Amino acid sequence: ISIPKLKEILLPPQSKEQQEEIINKINKTKTFVKINGKDEFDNIHLPPFQKAIEGGVYGVMTAHIIYEFIEKDKAATFAHNILTDLLKDQLGFKGVVFTDSLDMVGAKKVGGEISKAATLALSAGADALLCAKENPLKVNKEIESQIDKLYTLQRIEDASKKIYELKQKLGLFEQKIDE
């Protein structure tokens, strides 16, 4: 099942050559994309999210991008100011906030071990913690051991409720009849 969601928007409108040059630089250096300036953010990066939220998008995927004018040393995935204050409170997003994969270089650079990255993301406002490459059973145990120590039951229930409601919207609980 594919869930319609917004994925991080990295690049302002440019020529294809300029975009490829930036992407190659990012891939080569394995560093975050740093977008400086509130004007650029407000005028280029934020409007697609505003429109999609107004249109009822179900999910937003975080980015391991640093917006220095909002949160100096934290990627958006780990920034409460972005996931909760901006996305949920200011823009009114009520759906599921998915992390991008927490075992990516960008996430590990700021978040460290996956279990630490997961707890930072959950604390910032992420609801669904994604991990693509690591052994899922091992990662789940590591994350559970950290989450049990750090979070209230209310935060876990809030995230679980959003995921459950999304599954309901997608019809995952309806009984299917083979024809």
Which pLDDT score, from 0 to 100, does residue 175 have?
Answer: 60
Distances (CA, A) of 124 to 19, 34, 86, 166: 29, 19, 11, 20
Which pLDDT score, from 0 to 100, does residue 19 have?
Answer: 52
Which tokens sit at 114? Answer: 């996956």
| Whole-number Å distance between alpha carbons of 176 and 18 | 48
Residue 49, classed as helix, strand or coil, is helix
Which pLDDT score, from 0 to 100, does residue 15 have?
Answer: 56
CB 3 within 8 A of CB 166: yes
Digits of tens for pLDDT over the chain (179 positions)? 445 555 554 334 445 565 556 555 555 544 445 566 788 888 877 888 888 888 888 888 888 877 778 887 788 889 999 999 999 999 999 999 998 888 887 777 766 677 788 888 888 999 998 887 767 777 777 777 776 666 667 888 888 899 998 888 888 876 655 65
Residue 128, classed as helix, strand or coil, is strand
